[in-house]
Structure 1
């Protein structure tokens, strides 16, 4: 495992040859625009991409259907998108930027919150249902497939019956805020791994962390 991590964050021609030859990727962090939604659980996709922007020193700019930025990682071009369509219409932005940048579905990664995972748990999957998540539901409807990569960040389910919306649109509690920097670091490492090493290797390395 240590050798693999060294290859992932160092240089490795062998590993590059084993991964997808396509060199352009689209990473979408789901969320809602506006100050009322900042620091809410539902906006973890935005938060992870903002953390990545700090690490990689890039800036998001307003564009059609979202805020967009690009950076390079080990020879790959990475387009990052924070949709401005609000969560329930995320599919429109995803499809537009896939077509505009000519990015294949295999090289798309959707970052989303998940109440079915404990806080801070991360899980990468290559397909699956929307799990009742309206953003994923719209992406599925627009793309007409459930076979797309999704990075699920656990937000927990500490809410009573009928209070799910209030919970996901609520802000992180103190313990979650303290744990967030370490969780964000692992999340951005997962994104780089997805770009460089591919989905399968990334699942093996990161799922359950």
Structure 2
């Protein structure tokens, strides 16, 4: 791995999604969008790793805490292997892993932060839990995308791009999810929940 990603604190932020232009802007890739927002705030860029992820170690603001920010180079359902690889490389414990992902069970634009719990059928979370040998004690920033209307297949729905109406609200939604990550690292989980869940 590059030297700029070889020294960090004990946080890892993973944004879930699928690789390639085919999936850019889809509901399932909200995690990638949030990581792009965070990197933009820090003026940071990813470096390719040998672990199957793009990652960068950067500070949250001048003199702020340092963490690794990453996205997998593989598909959603194999997110666990690169996540575990980065955790092992940087010495990040499960309790300091933050996973940003799309959430069908929240209305579009709603954000919830939680530690542990079930994966709710989310294949990315299932893969991570599997590679953590069943340890679910990591933090999830759940970005609501709503459930599909009618009888649309969920798998098809999450791979669609956001509607024109949703795209108007998307920048603010992504920014708020990025805020949730920063608050969790800066102020702790409970304080972040109190702020974000009140919105």
TM-score (norm 2): 0.90
Whether 1:114 and 2:103 are equivalent positions in the alignment is: yes
Q: Of 57, 78, 101, which aligns to 2:43?
A: 57
Decide which structure has greater helix share: 1
Cα–Cα, structure 1 residues 106 and 55, in superposed 2: closer, same or farther, change >3 Å?
A: same
Q: For 1:117, what is the secondary structure of its paired residue?
A: coil
Name the structure 1 match of 2:55.
Answer: 68
Q: Of 37, 60, 81, which aligns to 2:70?
A: 81
Segments of structure 1 that go 5 or more residues without pairing to the other structure are 1-21
Contact 1:31 1:86 in 2 (8 A): yes
Contact 1:37 1:169 in 2 (8 A): yes
Q: Aligned residues, how many?
A: 188
Contact 2:19 2:75 in 1 (8 A): yes
Aligned pairs for 1:154-165 (under 5 A) are 154-161=144-151, 163-165=153-155
Runs of 4+ in 1 over 4 A off after TM superposition: none
| Cα distance between partner residues in 2 of 1:80 and 1:114 | 20
Two-structure CA RMSD over aligned residues (Å):
1.5
Whether 1:25 and 2:15 are equivalent positions in the alignment is: no
TM-score (norm 1): 0.86
Segments of structure 2 that go 5 or more residues without pairing to the other structure are 1-7
Moved more, 178-187 or 33-42: 178-187
Name the structure 1 match of 2:159.
Answer: 169
Moved more, 68-77 or 124-133: 68-77
Q: For 1:158, what is the secondary structure of its paired residue?
A: coil
How far does the alpha carbon of each residue in 1:128-149 deviate from its partner, in whole angstroms, 9 at most, with x for none? 1010111111111111222211
Aligned pairs for 1:34-53 (under 5 A) are 34-53=20-39
| Cα distance between partner residues in 2 of 1:114 and 1:184 | 13
| Cα distance between partner residues in 1 of 2:81 and 2:149 | 30
